[in-house]
């Protein structure tokens, strides 16, 4: 937006941006006014109700409100990390940073038979991308399968394999699972 807007103001509730380092550096050093540690408190609507003409933000660090006149507002909500399930956790899930459940790469939690995956799960070297959630889902299904039937193949195979390939694939997976 910076190349075409008269001014761009980016308000962020946390202390530091998350994202690709070069993009963060570009935003922080560019023509965008970045306000961190601030919350949107209020908005003022035009008399005809057609748009927002001002916003009020609260600067947490200096404990002060600021009203900013605006032409447009773009809101990026992200996702809500506040989760009552985690706060009411009395079953032994290991939760850290108020959101993440500690798991193994196979999605196992501290509770036998409970698996966590996707955004809520975290383990050493986890890549927090949507593509990683697909990987987590496969691992969770395989781990749950073994929990239900400990004698099952350690890793499932894709159902679209031709019948003649299934024995070979199963052998490879068994070898892989034991290494």
pLDDT at 61 over 90: yes
Report which DSSP code applies to 9.
E
104-141 tens-digit pLDDT:
988 898 888 888 888 888 888 888 787 778 888 888 88
Structure tokens at 35: 């306000």
User: What local confidence, expressed as pLDDT, does residue 11 receive?
Assistant: 92
pLDDT at 155 over 80: no
User: What local confidence, expressed as pLDDT, does residue 166 receive?
Assistant: 65
pLDDT at 103 over 60: yes
3-state secondary structure of 35: strand
Report which DSSP code applies to 115.
B
Q: Which of 79-83, 86-90, 127-131 bottoms out in mean pLDDT, i.e. has the lowest?
A: 79-83
pTM check: above 0.75: no
Q: Who's near 126: CB < 8 A, 6+ residues apart?
A: 105, 132
15-46 tens-digit pLDDT:
888 777 888 888 888 888 999 999 999 999 99
pLDDT at 158 over 70: no
Q: Classify strands 52-59 and 100-102 as parallel, antiparallel or unpaired.
A: unpaired
pLDDT at 143 over 80: yes
- pLDDT, the chain, mean: 81
């Amino acid at each position: 937006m910076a190349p075409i807007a008269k001014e761009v103001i980016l308000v962020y509730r946390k202390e530091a941006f998350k994202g690709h380092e070069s993009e963060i550096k570009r935003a922080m050093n560019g023509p965008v006014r970045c306000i961190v540690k601030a919350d949107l408190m209020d908005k003022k609507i035009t008399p005809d109700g057609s748009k927002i003409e001002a916003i009020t933000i609260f600067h947490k660090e200096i404990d002060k409100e600021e009203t900013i006149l605006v032409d447009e507002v773009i809101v990026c909500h992200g996702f809500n990390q506040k989760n009552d399930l985690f706060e009411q956790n009395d079953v032994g899930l290991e939760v850290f940073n108020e959101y993440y459940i500690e798991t193994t790469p196979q999605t196992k939690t501290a509770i036998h038979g409970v698996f966590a995956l996707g955004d809520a799960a975290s383990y050493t070297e986890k890549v927090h991308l949507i593509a990683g959630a697909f990987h987590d889902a496969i691992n969770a299904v395989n781990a749950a399968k073994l929990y239900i039937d400990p004698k099952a193949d350690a890793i499932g195979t894709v159902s679209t394999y031709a019948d003649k390939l299934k024995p070979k694939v199963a052998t490879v997976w068994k070898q892989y699972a034991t290494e």
